[in-house]
Every structure is written in structure tokens, then in C-alpha cells.
Structure 1
Amino acid sequence: MLRDLALAAKAACSKEDQESLVPLVQQLRDLGEVAFKRGLLALEGELMQIKDPFLKLGIQLIVDKTEPENVQDILDSDIYYNESNGRELLKKIIIREGLLRIQAGDNARNILICTKIFLGKVEPGVW
């Protein structure tokens, strides 16, 4: 989980920007459910519908059976060395957290809990 305060500060964004990421959190939950019920290789069937390049990269790494620490290193490198700020950076942080939890075999509910925490300004009733 994100513990870098400087990175967290760069990812700060408005309530509206956070609310716009709710569908992403729900998508990660849904992908987690597919992986939990049918296995990680079942995610390959979901790749065609994924538009976000960062999410697609992470799913492809998981499907290719990349070691978890290597998936984390690759995603972290993109997060730390690309010039993302605000909503875009927060989106990548949420994707990273969700993918690592999916790869670890967490259930959909835990994935939802652990990704929506980054959307602290979003009203609880949205979920």
C-alpha cells in the first residue's frame, strides 16, 4: 500500500476527480471476482475490453505469470518515473493496489475495500 507521503501529495485531487474514479474501483472489484472464481488466466479474456494502458499492462503481466514482486516493480517504476499528477496519478495508484491484491488472490470485497480507501472524499453511499 502507498506509504510515500510526497507521492500521496502529488496524487491529491478534488472530490469530483475522486468520484470519477469510482467506476475504476468497481472494475477492479469485478476483475478480482473473475480471477477469484475462475483463476488468474481467466483475466486474459478481459483484456480486449480494457482501454487504460496501465491497467492493461498490469493484467497482461499477471496473465503472463510474472512474479508478484516484478509486477510491483514494473508498476511502481511507471508511477514514480512518469510525470503524472492529481487524478492520473491517483488512478495509477488505485490500479496498482487493485492488481496486486488480485494477483495475491484476494476476494472481490477485499479488493473493493482496499482500493476505495484512496477515494476518501467520495460519499459512502456511492458503493
Structure 2
Amino acid sequence: MTKAAIYCRVDHGSSEYGQVAVSCQRKRLEHYAKRSGLTVTKWYADCGFAGNDLDRPALKKLLRDHAKGKFSTVLVVSPDRLYRGSIPNSPNWSFKIKVVNRQTMKQEQLQAGGNPCRNMQKRSI
């Protein structure tokens, strides 16, 4: 079974909106991991940090844990949650990045024969 980590980020700090946004990201990614048979070893979240700022506590922890071999895949709702700009060329960034967004979820529901429109709510994160 593939080991994965979940990474969430918002730049709104500790505001209520930021906490809700992180919670929504995490739930979506946990749901995807469960449906895909991935083992989530840990989840990481940074609130109040810009995407181009590499000096984020949870991101640093994620990179250290990856270097220790704790997971091979990182789940994110958008590439810019992990980093805005070019991914640094470093062995610490050698993990697979899986973007799980609405389009990903719809494609999987269609492949499974489900109705992607049933029970969907429009939310902005």
C-alpha cells in the first residue's frame, strides 16, 4: 500500500476562515486517500503563510519526514498549496505530488459509474 502525506495551506492566518479552509482541504484529501487505498501517514497544515515562502513550519516537517522515508506521495488540493513558483530542485522534493481537486473527484466518480453531480455542494475555499 502506498504511503501518503496530506498537506494543506492557507494564507489567511489563524482566522476562522483559514481554519475552515484547512479543514475542507483535509477532508477532501482524506476522502480521496481512503477511496484510492492510500495509507495517510500524517497530515501537515500551514496557516498564514504565502505559497512562495519556503520557511513554513509544517512544510519543513513534511520535507524532514519525507527524507526519513515516511511517505512517497503528497496529496494537495492544488499545486499552489504546496508551493507557488517552480518546485525547488532538491532531493527533499522528490516525492510524487497528487493534486486532488473537483475535477479529479468527478473523473473518478465517472470511472466508477457514479453520478458526479449528485450530492455535490458548491463551496469556495
Fold shared by both chains (TM-score > 0.5): no
* More helix per residue: 1
* More strand per residue: 2
Instruction: Answer with 1 or 2: which has the greater Rg.
Output: 2
Larger relative contact order (Cα-Cα within 8 Å, sequence gap ≥ 6): 1
TM-score by length of 2: 0.29
TM-score by length of 1: 0.29
